[in-house]
Amino acid sequence: MPTRTLTRLTLRRPDDWHLHLRDGAMLRGVLPATTADFARALIMPNLVPPVVTAAQAIAYRDRIRAALPRDADFTPLMTLYLTEATEPADVARAHAEGIATAVKLYPAGATTNSNSGVRDFEKVLPVLEEMAEIGMPLCVHGEVTDPEIDIFDREAVFIDRVLKPLRRKVPELRVVMEHVTTQDAVDYVRDSRKGMAATITTHHLIINRNAILAGGIRPHYYCLPVAKRETHRLALVQAAVSGDERFFLGTDSAPHADPAKLQPCGCAGIFSAPVTMACLAEVFEAAGALERLEDFVAVNGARFYGVAPNEGRMTLQKGEAWTPDATVMTGDGPVTVFDPGFALHWRAA
Ligand code: DOR
Ligand code: ZN
């Protein structure tokens, strides 16, 4: 019997549980790409200077609200940047007052603007214990910074050296391992007891490390954690399309103006917001799992964060292949949009 091919898909409006919006002219330039599709996003705090205190989070949230396109129906959910000087009481207050949804842990030096991050994990234990107490999630950039460790191994080593000991010390802490890139991380999350989840980005479902390095060096595919070999990508796709509620979308859409990417030492980050939903529809369709796209983008994450899934709906329509804009122009310069390397047929109706 021929299988009926789906050409129209209506789902709850999605949430992006890991998003970089930046500030100022860049914020104004990239925000519409997210608000066009997403109802909510968890906003990363790695500005310069970072969003460390509740007061800074309120001010940043206000700047995002002020930059919203007219008619946008979008809620920014804020995070606090964890430093060794973060006060447990400030975090607890920010959570109780609905200012901060989560705390973000960057190992110092792991990625863009992570210098104020954590060097000595013992020093942040009082904050983590407080968060466990109040049920506030910790979002983790899971890579070790030890220069001796090969960059392709830094996520797997982080699990053994940092995450496992941390989870033993603060077993009740709710943890999201952000932008997982390896089979190791997928297995770790699957085997964990309750309270452990992972976000998966759009691009890590689509590219492997060949995209960055084979046949020429392609800076627009460079991000952190760096994409791994194909077996790992396949493990991510399997986790995403499985419906397993511990895996959900966090795009890690991370805009940098082209001149900052196209340098002898270019910035890490892939700007996927404008094409994420179209890309994901292709990925889930290819996996024969379109009916589980809604869980991944609109249900699992909301459940983990303890908020109701969005009531609004978005409709994706399949048609002729279309070509997205290659760049989005911002007041900070052009930002190249993620190119999945295959034709897109789905788009918001
Ligand atoms: O590629 C990345 N870009 N990874 C991160 O962890 C940070 C992000 C950014 O802020 O540009
Ligand atoms: Zn990120």
pLDDT score of 116:
87
Is the backbone of residue 156 left (phi > 0), alpha (psi -120 to 50) or beta?
A: alpha
pLDDT score of 1:
46
Q: Ligand 1 pocket check: which of 43, 46, 48, 202 to mutate, most ligand atoms within 8 Å of Cβ?
A: 46
pLDDT score of 4:
62
Q: What does the mean pLDDT of the chain come to?
A: 96
| Phi and psi torsions of 198, nearest 5° | -145, 145
Domain boundary assignment for the chain:
8-348
**pLDDT higher than threshold 60 for residue 3:** no
Half-sphere exposure of 33 (CA within 13 A, CB side): 30
Nearest CA to 198 among 186, 207, 208, 184? 186
Catalytic residue among 15, 16, 37, 252: 252
**pLDDT higher than threshold 70 for residue 238:** yes
For ligand 2, an ion, list residues with CB under 5 A.
Answer: 252
Mean pLDDT, residues 188-194: 94
Instruction: Give the residue whose CA is nearest to atom 10 of ligand 1.
Output: 112
Half-sphere exposure of 201 (CA within 13 A, CB side): 31
Q: Ligand 1 pocket check: which of 202, 223, 253 to mutate, most ligand atoms within 8 Å of Cβ?
A: 223
In whole angstroms, give the CA distance from residue 174 to residue 196. Answer: 6
Higher-confidence residue of 201 and 111: namely 201
Number of Cβ within a 10 Å radius of residue 162: 18
Atom of ligand 1 nearest to the CA of 222: 1
**pLDDT higher than threshold 90 for residue 193:** no
Sheet strand arrangement including 313-322: 8-12, 313-322, 344-348
**pLDDT higher than threshold 90 for residue 114:** no
Q: Secondary structure of 42-57 in the HEC alphabet?
A: EECCCCCCCCCCHHHH
Instruction: Give the residue whose CA is nearest to atom 3 of ligand 1.
Output: 269
**pLDDT higher than threshold 60 for residue 108:** yes
Judge: domain 8-348, CATH 3.40.50.2000.
Answer: no
Give strand pairing partners of 313. 12
Contact criterion met (CB below 8 Å) for 52 and 76:
no
Q: Ligand 1 pocket check: which of 79, 112, 154 to mutate, most ligand atoms within 8 Å of Cβ?
A: 112
| Pocket of ligand 1 contains residue 181 by CB under 6 Å | no
What Rg do the C-alpha atoms of the chain give, in angstroms?
A: 19
In whole angstroms, give the CA distance from residue 107 to residue 97. Answer: 27
> pTM for this structure?
0.97
- Report how far ligand 2's centroid is from the alpha carbon of 5 (Å): 35
User: pLDDT tens across 45-97, in order?
Assistant: 999 999 999 999 999 999 999 999 999 999 999 999 999 999 999 999 999 99
In whole angstroms, give the CA distance from residue 316 to residue 5. Answer: 14
In whole angstroms, give the CA distance from residue 259 to residue 268. Answer: 13
In whole angstroms, give the CA distance from residue 76 to residue 73. Answer: 10
pLDDT score of 251:
98
**pLDDT higher than threshold 90 for residue 106:** yes
pLDDT score of 2:
47
In 262-299, alpha helices (H) = 276-286, 293-294
- Report how far ligand 1's centroid is from the alpha carbon of 1 (Å): 46
pLDDT score of 7:
93
Q: What is the identity of the amino acid at 300?
A: N
In the chain, the percentage of residues whose pLDDT exceeds 70 is 99
Give strand pairing partners of 77. 42
| Pocket of ligand 1 contains residue 141 by CB under 6 Å | yes
User: pLDDT tens across 159-177, in order?
Assistant: 999 999 999 999 999 999 9
Q: What is the identity of the amino acid at 20?
A: H
User: pLDDT tens across 257-292, in order?
Assistant: 999 999 999 999 999 999 999 999 999 999 999 999
Half-sphere exposure of 342 (CA within 13 A, CB side): 13
Confidence of residue 111 (pLDDT cuts 50, 70, 90): confident
pLDDT score of 284:
98
In whole angstroms, give the CA distance from residue 200 to residue 296. Answer: 9
User: pLDDT tens across 15-46, in order?
Assistant: 999 999 999 999 999 999 999 999 999 999 99
Range scoring the smallest mean pLDDT among 1-10, 95-104, 120-129, 147-156: 1-10
The question of whether 16 is a catalytic residue gets the answer no
